[in-house]
Structure 1
Amino acid sequence: MSSAQPAIELIGISKAFGPVQANRDISIRVAPGTIHGIIGENGAGKSTLMSILYGFYRADRGEIFINGRKTDISDSQAAIAAGIGMVFQHFKLVENFTVLENVILGAEDGALLRPSLAKARKELAALSSEYGLDVDPDAVIERIGVGFQQRVEILKALYRRADILILDEPTGVLTPAEADQLFRILHRLKEEGKTIILITHKLREIMEATDTVSVMRRGEMVATRKTAETGPEELAELMVGRKVLLRVDKTPARPGAEVLAIHDLKVTDPAGVLRLKGIDLTLRAGEILGLAGVAGNGQSELLEVLGGMLPALGTVTGSIRMQGRDLALTGAAGDGKARRAAQIGHVPEDRQRAGLVMDFFAWENIAFGYHADTAYQRSGLFMDNGALRREAADKMDRYDVRPPDPWLKAKNFSGGNQQKIVLAREIERKPALLLVGQPTRGVDIGAIEFIHKEIVALRDAGAAILLVSVELDEILSLSDRIAVMFDGRIMGERLPDETDEKELGLLMAGMDARASGEAA
């Protein structure tokens, strides 16, 4: 589609949060009817820029033009009126509302909700069918998985019939198959004349889905390229300002003694649904066991049991042995404190809900769970906050947390920098067993390289690592062994160099081609 005017033009956009300059004199043009990618490291300012376009923030300086017309976007309602929709990286959903109620929230037709709900139900069914985003309209948000919550966010934007659609890390909670489906949706929207801005750190997605890509670094726009005229290596270097290793560099594992042994582990949730159906797994020192599977097939429950997050669970049976000792499955002896005492570190899948207290300072979050250590005590009665803050500053520097300010609240960091805070807290304790859930979700390419190096270094130092990830390329490149979960069971184990994404995808769907071949 051609046009004399860009669908979006931002000129000289600047935005600061106190001393932090998030955007500095940014200009960008987005052609109508195209998919335009924006990439950059976490903290580069790309989400801030798009939040300005959507009216979530107001720029300190600069101008916005929509379809050639200067537009004042004072808030999200003004953005919606200008034909702009946005799907945020961290969901903007009311958790005790239904899917249907969330979809119409802010888009009601009048004071009476019943007609709005009836209309929305009909349109939601059509959208769900057309785009393959099947979600129960009457499901309560807090009772559905993050993958389904992402679908709700996409449906909200589609329901508002936006001509310009901004997606901020939309595949962070999707499986590869779901991500492929999303990109099919985006291409259909593009064919209908919609303009799409895709914020992502995944270079594969940029290369496969976009027409044009702009690169941001440290709050500035450093380059714009036609996607067909660039490649992952150039884009990664533009993002980081140096050459980046795009593969995991590790030597073969040298497994030692058995660290973790799980036998016949079963979990029944409070609603009486059997979530884990007899899990048997072993993990040795000095190896990474990757656990692959579509979200909602028991990986989360397994991490929660192992990490001592028992209050949200129902009945747990079976056995877990850690370094030859049985771990309690219930009560205080099986909680997170007891797990930490057993040398188990835990990076939860959802950093905001389970890994951080968002309104607390970075130095407090880095201390959580370990603040009672004698190294942080004065006279055995009080915490030595000065020591905690100094250690936090050291860890933030080592893990390149941006900005490196221990006094900044967790909610004021980008998603990737929040993840670095959690990783610094857990990895630096040198656990015998590290549980890692989605270690690079929403994390940029430079940080991914760093996180992978830290995980491999911990393995090489003798730790056992259980890795849960929906990124199959991460599972394949980082793991020494791979187990696949489906419907609360282990479907099979594979060695990374003896399998591929296709076979793992079949196992994730409950189909074992090798077993079928043997049976035949």
Structure 2
Amino acid sequence: MTVAEQSFTPPPGTAPIVQLKGIAKYFPGVVANENVDLEVMPGEIHALLGENGAGKSTLMNILTGIYQADAGEIIIDGYQKEFATPMQAIAAGIGMVHQHFKLVQAFTVAENIHLGWSETPRRASKAVLENRTDELAKRFNLDIRAGATVSDLSTGEQQRVEILRVLAREARLLILDEPTAVLTPAEARELFRALREFVAEGNAVIFISHKLDEVMEISDRISILRGGRKIATRQTRDCDPHMLANLMVGREIVLDDMRHRAEGAAQVSVEPVLVLDNVSVSSESGGNGLANVSLKLHAGEILGIAGVAGNGQRELSQVLTGVRSASSGQVIVDGKSMKGANAAVFAAFGIGHIPEDRLHSGLAPALSITTNAVMREYGQAPVSPHGIYNPRSAYRLAREIAEAAEVAIPDYGMPVRNLSGGNQQRLVARREMRIADKVLIAAYPSRGLDVGAINTMLRYIVELRDAGAGIVLISEELEELLNLSDRIAVLYEGRIMGVVDNDNLDIEEIGLLMGGRTAAREVA
């Protein structure tokens, strides 16, 4: 029986762990939250839903002391609290795993887990910290490498470290912002098991996700935000995904058949536009790089890359965009070898890149929205005609890109980090599609987007395919790959296990390949 099928009824007289009353937060030109009420009970997993920019992250940042509310009050166990810093919220038993990681990149996993933790031994060797971390990882069923440096980890691996760091502290209220975005289904099930054990002890969880099926599976109650205001709170057993999607966006959501080619769409080219010829890439993290990978991408097609996070996806996207050089083999674009070419040369050659970590790899967080929007075209007209930067032209181009991405921006001069994660993603995607004349490398392009925004994002990709570009789509969502890809390649431990046509696809075969197996044998 799933949590959603159970009846959640706290004992009479039970006080909420957390009550938010009339919370409001305003930024210049933006109502982030207004008059939001929310209560979370002991023993409850409470899902928080809303479109990108609906105010979910802002509300949780207020609860965890990162922001201070402009109005309203926070009540913990019946007592009013004010959190001026995150440390005060942690001391009150509130822990959060953020959508954008808060890890120290130069530290090891074990050092990050123990940093600022009262239970960290005053004097402990590296081995002791790593052993303690390994024990915690086993306890919470999270696969991590205690001795690895965080900067060398994939996005999925870093997310697991974040989750483990907060779970280890056993806060009474655990806030998870898109925690399964980079977890496999098996890992998500293990996380859900840990969360159920957590709330069974009288604790509570606020679970933020755009995956409606998993919200239905894990939550007891669901609150929906729209435009910074709470629209409704419902018992999960009274909901269905279709109803939730409509409540989130305020309109009917219809998912399109993405594999259908529009009339007049470009045909798949006979010759490949992109070739990986026996490419190997070493991994500095000690994980999986690439081992003798050969692939062909044709113009006008979408090649899906399936696989569990940490099996070489990061290295694949980097070598395809010039961010990292191949140790051996070569990348060929439109018949030209790209050996020795850097990322700027790849971009100038018509290759766009939506990276897996949009905030740190796709954007300069402290710079303005305008600068980030136009940075791919910074040195050319209209931004810099005759080599001289024109601020007005840059602003006009930034506004054009933002409008195409359907991102509402009150101030183009504010730092891009102030945008919601989903709006950052759409801005990066539209910027990269402008330069992707030949190829777009899209790594997890729908990660962190709501159901309506996902549909819009995938339509962007399909339109680019129909215009004649080749698309490499890296995703952990099999449904997404099946809905878009012409062919699917499966990556395991840096090797291509197989490439299958989507017209003749066996889901069981894909699952075996993702686990390093074929129907006949296990890969050594």
Report the TM-score when normalising by structure 1: 0.91
Aligned residues of 2:33 and 2:58 also touching (Cα < 8 A): yes
CA-to-aligned-CA distance 1:348-387 (integer Å, 9 cap, x gap):
1211222111111111112112222233333x13122211
1:511 to 510, 517, 520: 517
Moved more, 95-104 or 413-422: 95-104
Structure-2 residue corresponding to 1:52: 62
Work out whether 1:261 is the aligned partner of 2:275.
yes
Structure-1 residue corresponding to 2:246: 237
Give the SS at the match of 1:114: coil
Work out whether 1:184 is the aligned partner of 2:190.
no
The CA distance in 2 between the partners of 1:37 and 1:256, in whole Å, is 46
Structure-2 residue corresponding to 1:284: 298
The CA distance in 2 between the partners of 1:158 and 1:27, in whole Å, is 26
The CA distance in 2 between the partners of 1:210 and 1:134, in whole Å, is 24
- Could you list the structure 1 runs, at least 4 aligned residues long, displaced by more than 4 angstroms after superposition: 115-123, 269-274
Measured after TM superposition, the shift of residue 404 of structure 1 is 5.1
The CA distance in 2 between the partners of 1:471 and 1:425, in whole Å, is 24
CA-to-aligned-CA distance 1:106-125 (integer Å, 9 cap, x gap):
22359x72169898666544
Aligned residues of 2:354 and 2:432 also touching (Cα < 8 A): yes
Give the SS at the match of 2:327: strand
Aligned residues of 1:362 and 1:421 also touching (Cα < 8 A): no
Work out whether 1:43 is the aligned partner of 2:53.
yes
Work out whether 1:104 is the aligned partner of 2:114.
yes
Structure-1 residue corresponding to 2:147: 138
Give the SS at the match of 1:376: coil
Aligned residues of 1:481 and 1:496 also touching (Cα < 8 A): yes
Structure-1 residue corresponding to 2:6: none
Structure-1 residue corresponding to 2:469: 463
The CA distance in 1 between the partners of 2:494 and 2:257, in whole Å, is 29
Measured after TM superposition, the shift of residue 502 of structure 1 is 4.3
Structure-1 residue corresponding to 2:32: 22
- The 5-angstrom pairing of residues 161-310 of structure 1 reads 161-246=170-255, 248-251=257-260, 254-257=267-270, 258-269=272-283, 275-310=289-324
Aligned residues of 1:247 and 1:477 also touching (Cα < 8 A): no
Structure-1 residue corresponding to 2:5: none
Aligned residues of 1:292 and 1:475 also touching (Cα < 8 A): yes
Letter in 1 for 2:433: I
Work out whether 1:78 is the aligned partner of 2:88.
yes
Aligned residues of 1:55 and 1:78 also touching (Cα < 8 A): yes
CA-to-aligned-CA distance 1:314-341 (integer Å, 9 cap, x gap):
x532233222x222222xxx11221122
Structure-1 residue corresponding to 2:329: 318
The CA distance in 1 between the partners of 2:276 and 2:123, in whole Å, is 51
2:383 to 376, 382, 385: 376
Measured after TM superposition, the shift of residue 169 of structure 1 is 1.0
Change (3 A) 1:502 1:73: farther
Letter in 1 for 2:269: G
**What are the ranges of 5 or more consecutive residues in structure 1 without an aligned counterpart?**
none
The CA distance in 2 between the partners of 1:213 and 1:272, in whole Å, is 41
Change (3 A) 1:463 1:95: same
CA-to-aligned-CA distance 1:398-435 (integer Å, 9 cap, x gap):
21113353222111111111111111111133522111
Work out whether 1:65 is the aligned partner of 2:79.
no
Aligned residues of 2:25 and 2:32 also touching (Cα < 8 A): yes
Structure-2 residue corresponding to 1:13: 23
Change (3 A) 1:404 1:501: farther
Change (3 A) 1:516 1:491: same
Letter in 2 for 1:156: R
2:354 to 347, 368, 389: 347
Structure-2 residue corresponding to 1:486: 492
Measured after TM superposition, the shift of residue 510 of structure 1 is 0.4
The CA distance in 1 between the partners of 2:139 and 2:381, in whole Å, is 59
Measured after TM superposition, the shift of residue 97 of structure 1 is 1.8
Give the SS at the match of 2:378: coil
Change (3 A) 1:417 1:482: same
Change (3 A) 1:117 1:344: closer
Measured after TM superposition, the shift of residue 60 of structure 1 is 0.9
Moved more, 183-192 or 33-42: 183-192
Give the SS at the match of 2:393: helix
CA-to-aligned-CA distance 1:28-60 (integer Å, 9 cap, x gap):
122220111001111111011011111111111
Change (3 A) 1:385 1:68: same
Change (3 A) 1:246 1:36: farther
Structure-2 residue corresponding to 1:359: 366
Structure-1 residue corresponding to 2:7: none
Letter in 1 for 2:71: R
Structure-2 residue corresponding to 1:398: 404
Change (3 A) 1:272 1:174: closer
Measured after TM superposition, the shift of residue 458 of structure 1 is 1.0
The CA distance in 1 between the partners of 2:463 and 2:370, in whole Å, is 24
Letter in 2 for 1:322: V
Aligned residues of 1:297 and 1:486 also touching (Cα < 8 A): yes
Work out whether 1:90 is the aligned partner of 2:96.
no
Work out whether 1:440 is the aligned partner of 2:446.
yes
The CA distance in 1 between the partners of 2:352 and 2:182, in whole Å, is 23
Change (3 A) 1:458 1:115: closer
The CA distance in 2 between the partners of 1:478 and 1:260, in whole Å, is 19
Change (3 A) 1:210 1:287: same
Change (3 A) 1:430 1:413: same
The CA distance in 2 between the partners of 1:97 and 1:43, in whole Å, is 32
Measured after TM superposition, the shift of residue 184 of structure 1 is 1.9
The CA distance in 2 between the partners of 1:492 and 1:320, in whole Å, is 19
Aligned residues of 1:104 and 1:116 also touching (Cα < 8 A): no
CA-to-aligned-CA distance 1:211-246 (integer Å, 9 cap, x gap):
111111111111111111111111111111111124
**Percent of aligned pairs sharing the same letter:** 43
Change (3 A) 1:113 1:97: farther
CA-to-aligned-CA distance 1:193-228 (integer Å, 9 cap, x gap):
221100111112211111111111111111111111
Change (3 A) 1:107 1:494: same
Aligned residues of 1:305 and 1:329 also touching (Cα < 8 A): no
The CA distance in 2 between the partners of 1:260 and 1:32, in whole Å, is 54
Change (3 A) 1:32 1:500: farther
